[in-house]
Structures are given as structure tokens and as C-alpha cells.
Structure 1
Amino acid sequence: MIIYIEDGRNSVMAEAKRKSKARIEQSVLLPPATEPNGLIDRDTWIEETSSGFISKSPSNRFIYRVILETLWPKDHGIPGPIVDREEIRKAVDIAKGKTYIDTFRRLRELQGEEGLLGIVKQGNQYQLIDLNVYPKKTPRTHLSDEKWSRILIHYGNKCAVCGAAPGEKGFQQDHKVPRSRGGTDAITNWQPLCDSCNNIKSTSCRSCTEDCSKCGWSYPEFYRPVKVPGSVLRMLHEYADSNHIDADEWVTALILNNIPNQ
């Protein structure tokens, strides 16, 4: 269950503590090899891997290469160095000559569509541990202006999750059911998300094994988050703690007991 906490000025999205059978597995970072191992030339691998990118966007292909060069710097072996998120962002900004906002979308595409599963993440740190290029996915489809306009009209030109109005750069085009979970490019599998909801959904979906058809991120029209003032949420947890009960189970029982089944 996803709950909004309201502080009177801003609405901050928080994910309520819940019991789940899903186990989020963290990738394991390995001790870096500080010296080249001699089995494969770094520049040759980057050149061959870059020439095999399936993205049709020259800009995206350029960013992919910058990320790989950052994760495998010259005179270093594999496993590569453990690289902080901000180091990657800075390298891309320098290469572009300006602030680039989609760095980590490009990185996820490298791990997904481009088959570089050897890029692992733990917290805010990344590492290239495996040089294999695994089977690539079908490149991400970009909606036509006509289809995107129809989707925006369907959602009343608001974020599908939080209902926010579009920002300066509009909404993110989001697959309701992620492509990694079997989602398609059908027009019914798209929704507009604000930057905040899109970022939180991306984090929430990572390694999730729950049923997308019952997820508030995939189908907010059926499972829309409930806005609860922060003060009320705090009262709930204080009551649950003092009575030694599970807040999630207590709220669920309360709702089921007071809303008749339709």
C-alpha cells in the first residue's frame, strides 16, 4: 500500500511498511582489479561493444559509451572500480557540456535493452563486473505525438498516480507494466507520470516480484494511493506500537470490517 504524507505544504510519497513475500536482492560488489589482466584490451572491448548498441539514437549511444568508459577507466582491470552515482552523473555532464537529466535512464537501458547485465548496483554505487554482452531486448518504442496526445487526454493531462499537473518538460512516458515484466508497447500500457512518481516507481519496481496487475504503480486507476496527513499516520503507528499490533494488518482489518463487499 502506498501512502502520501502531507505536511501542509508538500505531499511527500512514502511507501508504508508492509509484509511481503518479495525479497529485494542487492547485487554484490566485488573487490576491484586495480591492474589490467591482459586477457582483453579495454579500448577494444569498449569500441566493439559500442558498435553493437541497438539504440538508433546517436545521443543515447554516446551516453552509453561515456558510462562504460567511466565504469572501466584506463589502466584498470575487471571487476572495475566501485563508482559513485554522482561520479557517473558528472562524467556525462562533462561529456555533454551541460547538465543531462536522463543519465540513469540511459544506464538502465544499458543493463536492459543493451544486455550489459555485468553492470551491477548496490545503493548509490555501480560496478562493471562482467564483460559479457547478453541477448538484447527489443529497443524501447517512442510514442507518436498523436498517441501520446490521446493518452494525455485519457488521463486528463495529469500524472496518473499523484494527479500533479505537467511540469516545464511535461510528463514521463511510462510503461504501466514494465517491459522487463512482460509489458508491451500497446497504447493501453502507457501512462503519464511526473518526474517524482516516475523515479519512485523505478526504484519500487527494481527486483519486485509481486503481481503487476494489482500494483498501484501499474494500475493507479484501480489502486490509487491514499492521501493521509502525516500527523494521522504518526498517530496510527503510535497506537499500533502501544497496543503491540501490526499497523498494516490493523488498517486492513478496519477497512474490511467497515466497507461492505460489493
Structure 2
Amino acid sequence: MTYSQLLQFISKDMTMAHIYQPVMLMELLKNEGKASVEEIAQAILNRDPSQIEYYTQIVKRMVGDVLTNKRKITTKDKGFYSLAGVESLTHGEIDELISLCEQKIIDYEKKRDGAQWSHRRRGRRAVSGSIRYEVLKRASGRCELCGISNEFKNIEVDHITPKSLGGKDDISNYQALCYTCNAQKNNKDDTDFRKLNAMYEDRLHGCLFCDVQTIDRTRIVEENELAFVIRDGFPVTEHHSLFIPKRHVLDYFGLSQPELNAIHQLLHSQKELLLKLDPNIDGFNIGMNCGETAGQSVWHCHVHLIPRRKGDVEYPKGGVRHVIPYKGNYEDLK
């Protein structure tokens, strides 16, 4: 590449979704045009404030707490830690203590064989760009815990149930978290995920929707790991569909976040499919009946997707308000 070509690319043609391209070029330019993957990664890491935030939390909540409050080796004053008595040590003693710390690290790394960083690697392959896009789109570019926008903090794709505890590489088990919430998640969450995973296997013999999964699978038109779709046996309109968690759970309010994600994914997928099957579909009603008073008759959660077409009722305004007679036309109630 000539100077003019590089100048044109960097100043005019480079499109950026992140800082990675200019950082990589800078590293190559500084090292006579050649740099290892690790060197480029280190250059990116040096510009990533989220890593400083992550280890700031480690210092405050873990190592700083242990050395200061439990072991009484250090003291803390505002944002600074101090090692008591260090002023009385000779240079030789300091060098010896540093060497001893280095040896402790070497021995520990040898014992763990790299496993000490497994919480950062998370023992899984990177989430693909297309899946990451879908997760962030579903979250509208915001952390699903604290709500901060990706304009202010980098948003990461996190396993709701960790891989180390049996969590699946499935979009229903992904959530969007800012790097701060992701870093702090394990410190705040004491859920026994082993029991939670077993919960998803719950089935009730004789339940209509539990039995569909084994006895009448031909009714299933789409499924993912935690939910499936069937066409309603008594459709309100053509292609009226039911979205059902595989776990036996009473109603919508008993669903876990991964199950909500799974149903949400299928709703979007089926919406696109039905629009292609029938161009006359002009709208949808989505709803669920929770409790006998609300009309529930099958005691296994299911979400209705009812395609709507112009003219299918005389007066559609009010939509789901029509579940109570004469309450749909709310303008007449004023």
C-alpha cells in the first residue's frame, strides 16, 4: 500500500463500527508493518475502559476487601489503598517480597493450568455476529438489567444460565447486559442454576400441551429449545396459533426470562411466516388467559397469536378490550 492509498482509506473510506480498525493499523504502522494477533489484541485492550471498570470492581469487592477488612494487611482512604509499615522496609526486603509474590503467581498458574481465567473466557465459543445482533435488537440496544443505552456503555451478550452450570448456546438463554452489570452479575446472583435447569424438564402426563410434545408432534409447526408453536384447534381466524413453553407451567406469570425470550423469538418468526403465507393479514392480536375468571381452560401456559384481516369484524377498534362485552367501543363510554 502506498502512502496516498492508506491516506485515502483512513481519512475517507474507513467505516467504523468500533475502534478496532484504526487501532490495528496503528499497531502495524508502529512495528514496521507486522504485528502478532496477541499484540494487536493487547493494543485494543489498552483502549478498553470496560476492562478497568471490571477489575475496579474486583479490587473493591474482592481483593481489596480481603486484604483490608479480613486480613488487616492494607488500609483504605477514599480511592487509595496503603500497605501499613512499608516505609520501614529496605529496598532489598521489598525486592525479596516482590519476588516471593511473583513465585506465588507462577505456582498458582501452574497448578490451575490457565483455569483461573475461565470466568472471563466463559468456556464457550464467541457468540456469532448475527446472533449478537438479534439479542441486541431484542433489547433495543439497552442493558436488560439496568437499562443503560449502548451509547453510554458497551453492551455484551451474556448467558442467563451460565455455561459452567449447564446453560445452552441458544438465543433464548442470551441476554444483553452492559459490561458493569455483566461483571457484577455473579457477585449478586446466588440462584442454584442446577435446580433451574431441571425445572425445564417438568412435564405433566395427561396435560394437553405436555402430551403434544411426545404423542402428537405432527401439530408442532416450529420450536426452539424451550417453546413450540401449534395452530389452534378451534381457530378464531385462519392461522390462529398458540405459543407454548415446553415446561409444564400454569400461566404467563410463571415463565422464566429464557422462556419469555423463546416465545418472543417464535412470535416474531411466525409473524413473518404468516405474512408471507397470507398477504391479506393486516394485523395481529397477541394475548393469554391467566386464570379461570379470565377464560383460561387449559392449565398450561399458552400465548395466542390471532391474525387479523380487514373486515373480519364490523368494528375492530378497541381490540382486546372486547373480552368484556360493550367495553371495546370505549369512545361510546365517554
| TM-score tier (shorter) | 0.3 to 0.5
Asked which structure has the greater RCO (Cα within 8 Å, sep 6+), the reply is 1
Structure ranking higher in helix proportion = 2
Choose 1 or 2 for highest CA Rg: 2
Q: TM-score, normalised by structure 2?
A: 0.27
Q: TM-score, normalised by structure 1?
A: 0.33
